[in-house]
């Protein structure tokens, strides 16, 4: 019983920590790649530089 409780508590902690890290990476750091179709239509105008803003 104690073993199960410890395991499930660890599980919940790992889950919460993982979600927090994901949030930090993707929402706070915006650490993801944006793909455009290299073989499709010209998408260079999809991007703007910080200077253009």
Partner 1 sequence: MKEIIDMSICEWSEAKFLFFSENIWGDFIYYSHLLPAISALIVTIFVYLNSPKNKSAQALLFTGVSFAIWCFMDLFLWSSEKIDWIMFTWSSLIYFQFFIYIGCLYFMYAFVEGKFPNFWTDVVIFLLTIPLFLFTHTKLNLTGFDFTNCWREAIEGPLWQPYIYNVGIFIGVWIFLYSIFHLKKAQTPKHRIEIIIVTIGIELFLIAFSLGNIIGSIETDWEIGQVGLFGMPVFLAFIGYTVVKYESFRLKVVAAEALFSATFMLLLSLLFVRSIDNARVIALGTIALFSVLGFLIVRSIKREIEQKEQIEKLAHKLERANTKLQQMDKLKSEFVSIASHQLRSPITAISGYASLLREGSYGEITNKMREPIERIEQSARMMAVSIEDYLNVSRIEAGNMKYNLTDFSLADQAEHISDDLRPEALKRGLVLLFRKRIESKGIVNADTGKVQQIIHNLINNAIKYTQKGAITVYVHENLDTKKIYVDFLDTGVGMNTETLHSIFQKFERGDKANTVNVTGTGLGLYVAQKMAEAMHGTITAHSEGEGQGSRFTLELPLVM
Site residues, partner 1 (CB under 8 A): 3-4, 7-8, 10-11, 14-15, 17-19, 21-27, 30, 32-37, 40-41, 43, 45-51, 53
Minimum Å gap between C-beta 11 and partner 1 is 6
Could you tell me the smallest distance in angstroms from the CB atom of residue 31 to partner 1? 8
Collapsing DSSP to helix, strand or coil, 53 comes out as coil
Least distance to partner 1 from the beta carbon of 6, Å? 10
The string over 11-25, giving b where at least 16 C-beta atoms fall within 10 Å of a residue's C-beta and e elsewhere, is eeeeeeeeeeeeeee
């Amino acid at each position: 019983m104690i073993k199960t409780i410890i395991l499930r508590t660890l599980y919940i902690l790992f889950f919460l920590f993982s979600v927090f890290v994901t949030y930090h990476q993707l929402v706070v750091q915006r650490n993801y790649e944006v793909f455009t179709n290299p073989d499709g239509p010209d998408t260079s105008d999809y991007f703007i530089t910080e200077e253009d803003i």
